[in-house]
Structures are given as C-alpha cells and as structure tokens.
Chains A and B, each alone.
Chain A
Amino acid sequence: MLVLNSIEVMYGGVLLILKGISIQVPEGGIIALLGSNGAGKSTTLKAISGLLKSEEGAVTDGSIIFDGIRIDNKDAYQIVKLGIVQVMEGRRIFEHLTTEENLRAGGQSDGGSINRKLDMVYSYFPQLKKLRNQVSGYLSGGEQQMLVIGRALMKHPRLLLLDEPSLGLAPRLVEEILGIVKRINEDEKTAILLVEQNATLGLEASSYGYVMENGKVVLDGPVDKLKANEDVKEFYLGLTEVGKKKSYRDVKHYTRRKRWLA
C-alpha cells in the first residue's frame, strides 16, 4: 500500500538526515520502525505525512508512493485526504480546547457525520467520553495519548503513523494503549506504521520490523527473525547470552562491532 523507494531527506538544504530509506507497508499490516535517538525514525514519518515542509526539510531523492500515487511532493492536508494520518511524538494536544473540540478539529473536510465518528472514537476510548467537555490541557498523560490517537481516528485513516505512543507512560497504560491500537488495526483494517524506541514493545505489536541507524535501514525482516537476531537481542532487547563467562570486553559494549555496520 505504501512504498518508500530509497528516499533521501535533507534539512535546510545541508543536513542529510535520511540516506536512502526503503520501507513497505502492506494493506492492513502493523509494521515497526525501531532505532535509537536520532536514527531518523520521526523524520521518516514526517516525510510520509508531508510535515517536513514546515521544518524546512524536503525529500531530495527517491519517491514515496501510496496506492500508486506519488505523495512526496504533496502538502500535508492533501496527504491526510488520501488517508494517511500521523500521530506526532509527545502528545501534541490542543491544550486550550476541550476534549471533544480536539476531536472535532480533526473531523472536518471529508464527508460523513461527525457524531458517528465521535461515537466510534468513544467506543475505543470510553474514558474520553467522560472527559469530553474538559479542557484537554488538564488531562493526564495517558488520556492525552488516547486523545491524540482518537483525534487521528476521526479522519478514518487507511494508514496510521504512530510516533512513540509509549513515551513517558506507565507500562500498564502502554499495554492498554497498544492493545487498543491492535484492535483498531483489526476492526477498522487500518494499517499501522509504529515508531518505537522501546524495541520489546514495538516487536511485540507488529508483524514485520525495520531497524534504523544513522538515517539508514540496517536490518529488516519478520518479527520472529528479528527477535532471534543476535545484534537486535543485545543492542535493542538488552538480552545477553545466559551462562557464558563475561569478559570486560563484552561489558564495554561500545567496543563491540555490530555486524551490520561492517
């Protein structure tokens, strides 16, 4: 459904952030995009959703194709109309608007009754219904995360780009929210591209994963294969081989070479 063909993204005409990324998202799938800080995960999402332009970034090479339409030169609102909605990192709610107004801010421009969409969102997040007339700036972190996901759902996206939904939330809440995301994926047939620093979580929720480092995809494969990969285990999942004698050399993990950077 979505294909990124070796795209390059440059900021301000000088800073090359993405150096040839190729990613595919199939219809109705959940795909994880893993990597540490500064790997270029968020930039990848913004390249897809067209939000780069307001940060003086641009796709300078390669192409992004959604359902056979090239979208890397389109504006953000046109891309939303095609059915791709990004939930940005860090719970960017409209803090002076009420919960319901937050949802409605995302609900215009396409057909269909707003009330029906509101009911749909409230059915996934019953908590939000109770808070519908509260100023959203005073909601708790978990509620705000639910609100931004719900707000994106109002657009009835065919592809949802989720940027670090687990950021700064208690583990129990993270579980709950990821559970809802999976339900959305099954019920609404919404494909999901999930960006996570928390690799354990990301791999748990998805079926296929990409690992990014320094603006490149260094590894990709079905989740089972990734989980079994020695490097992913060590550098992303924090697992080491049990029962082996550890030398100081192993502890100083930064002296170890990752195989994929060879």
Chain B
Amino acid sequence: MMEFLSVLIPGLAVGAIYGLVALGFVLIFKCSGVLNIAQGQLVLVGSFICYTLSIQLGIPFYLALVLTLGMSYLFGVLIEVVLLRPMVGQPVLSVVMITIAIFFILSSLVMIFYGATYYNYPTYLPTEKVQVAGIAIATKYLWCFILAAVLFVGVFLFFRFTNQGIAMRSIADDEMAAESLGVNVRRLHGVAWGLSFAVSAGAGVLLGTVMTVYYGLGFIGLKAIPAVIVGGLESLGGAMVGGLIIGGLEAVAGVYLAPLSQFLGGIKDVFPYVILMLVLLVKPYGLFGERRIERI
C-alpha cells in the first residue's frame, strides 16, 4: 500500500499539471471554439521564460514566476490579436491549422535559442521530504498540488461569479446573442487566450520543477489532450479531474504494468490514450462534457 501510494502521489502531482494545461485548452475552446494544438508548446515557452528570468537575469524565483504568468498573459493576447482575430468567421479547420503553425514556430524558436540541453531552476523549494499520513512526499509534488489548486480555483471563481466570466460563458453558448447584449466579444476572446497562456505557463514552470527544463516539455504538455477529452471539452472541473486521472493511472501503469511483459515496456506513454478510448466508448461527451440540451 505504502509503495502504491508513493507511486500514485507523484503521478497525481504530474496529473495536476496535465489538468492545468487541460484547463488552458478548455478556456480557449469554451470561449472561441478553437482547438488549440499549440497548447503543449505554451508549457514549453512558459518554462523557458521563467528559466531566462530567474537564472539568466537573476530575478528572485517567485517574482520570476509571477512575471512569467504576466508575460504569458500578454503573449496570449498578442497571439490572439495578431493571428486569430483576422480569422474570425473563417472555417474552424483553417483556424486549427494556424494553431498547428504556432506549435511548430514556438518549438523551433525554443530549439534555436536554447538547443536540446537540459536546464534546472534554482532550488527554490526545501529539499527534505514532508511526511503526510506516514508517507514521505517530496516538497515539489506538494507544491504542484498547491499551485495547481490555486490557479484552478482562481479560474473557476472567475467564471462562476465575475461579470466577465459569465459573459465569456455566454459567448460559448451563443456568440451573436452575447454581442447583441453589448458583450465585447473580440476583447473577451483576447482575455481567454491570455488566461489560457498564463495557466499553461504556470504548468510549464511546475513541470520544469518536477522534471527539468528541456525541449521535450512541449510534448509532455500535449498529454493534456487526453485529459481534456476524458474530462469533457467544455468543463473546467472535468479538465482537472481528467488530468488527475490520466496522471495517476499513467504512473501506476508505468510501474505495475510495464514489468509484466517486454511488450508493455512503453505502456506509460500509451496508457493515457487507452483510457481516452475507453472513456469515449462509454461517455462520448467525456465525463463532464456539456451535452446539447433537448427539451421534452
């Protein structure tokens, strides 16, 4: 049992990060209906912005983290204004193609400036382990849960209670009706992209802390896609739950299933997609997806 938990908890911590990236996904999808393929690369860019600020420019780490979130927000708004705003009203497929282009441009930029080297953040967390219910957990995993929870609750409260959040959800339901009520749809699209980038950058910093800062983080960020689809494309809570499910099961599969047979060696990386297929077979909208409302 102890051993199981010591496998599961780091898995869930990584899952919380997937959940954050998934949250970024949902933010954009809900508000503008765009499936942003580049989401994983934002994780990568976020982790490197924080690296550059904290190591290369020597800014204290927590300040660097806040700056990273802020800069990513502005970056998201910029991308929306420059690349996506002209595409409003164009076919969804073209818009998705643009996000694929963003994916490749961002990953190439990181490759050009930083290469394929591994980097580390300064040690900003205590290295000794914390005892929780008899299990020793590395502080960095706890930190993952805390930061993920803070960002998630922030986004959730924003959508539930603020006028801007409600207006954003109204855009998701009926953009033109929202416009007819004076909602500034274009501005809120920008806000959605900004928030999404900020949340993803936060996830990037966490991933960089748990693992290392390197080129491959973008592809790890892409595991958010199964998390999103398991959770349901429109549900913020679903994104988080989906992330936790994927992260937890992935870790457990990697430790317990992989040794069973030589054919299962790579099961850890495939397992999220297996879960994805199983969930979709039973619940085509994902676990918490919005279904079309039909009145009887």
Contact = CB atoms under 8 A, between A and B. Distances in A.
A140 B296 CA distance: 10
B178 interface: yes
Contacts of A129: none
B179 A94 contact: no
Given A94-B169, A95-B173, A96-B173, A152 B181 contact: yes
B176 A105 contact: no
A96 B160 CA distance: 12
A155 B166 contact: no
A97 B170 contact: yes
Given A77-B184, A92-B174, A56 B89 contact: yes
Contacts of A80: 180-182
B173 A49 contact: no
A77 B179 CA distance: 7
A88 B176 contact: yes
Contacts of B181: 80, 85, 105-106, 151-152, 154-155
Contacts of A148: 177
Interface string A51-89: 100101000000000000000000111011100011110
Contacts of A202: none
Interface string B154-176: 00000000011011011011111
A94 B175 contact: no
B269 interface: no
A54 B180 contact: no
Residue in B89, B170, B175, B293 with the greatest tally of chain A CB atoms within 10 Å: B170
A46 to B, nearest CB: 9
Contacts of B170: 94, 97, 101-102, 105
Contacts of A102: 170
B164 A94 contact: no
Interface residues of B, number: 26
Interface residues of A, number: 38
Contacts of A114: 163
A94 B175 CA distance: 9
A135 B293 CA distance: 10
A140 B293 CA distance: 12
A92 B166 contact: no
Interface in A103-155: 104-109, 114, 135, 137-138, 140, 148, 151-152, 154-155
B63 to A, nearest CB: 33
A104 B165 CA distance: 10
B173 A97 contact: yes
A138 B180 contact: no
Contact of B178 (A79, A95, A105, A135): A105
A105 B183 contact: yes
Contacts of A85: 180-182
Contacts of B177: 88, 92-94, 148
Contacts of B88: 54
Nearest to B187: A77
B293 A108 contact: no
A96 to B, nearest CB: 6
B182 A97 contact: no
Contacts of B89: 54, 56
Given A56-B89, A94-B174, A77 B293 contact: no
A155 B182 contact: yes
A99 B163 CA distance: 14
B179 A76 contact: yes
A151 B257 CA distance: 55
Interface string B262-274: 0000000000000
Contacts of A152: 180-181
A161 to B, nearest CB: 9
Given A88-B176, A96-B293, A135-B293, A109 B169 contact: no
Contacts of B176: 51, 54, 88, 92
A94 B173 contact: yes
Contacts of A140: 295
B293 A54 contact: no
Interface in B173-217: 173-185
Contacts of A105: 163, 166-167, 169-170, 178, 181, 183
Given A54-B176, A76-B182, A108 B167 contact: yes
Contacts of B178: 94, 105
A106 B173 CA distance: 14
Given A97-B173, A140-B295, 7 more contacts: A54-B89, A85-B182, A94-B177, A104-B163, A105-B170, A108-B166, A137-B293
Cβ-closest 7 pairs across A and B: A80-B182, A137-B293, A108-B163, A106-B181, A94-B173, A105-B170, A92-B177
Interface of B: 88-89, 163-164, 166-167, 169-170, 172-185, 234, 290, 293, 295
17 contacts: A51-B179, A56-B89, A80-B182, A85-B180, A85-B181, A85-B182, A86-B180, A93-B177, A94-B169, A94-B170, A95-B173, A96-B234, A97-B169, A101-B169, A106-B182, A107-B163, A108-B163
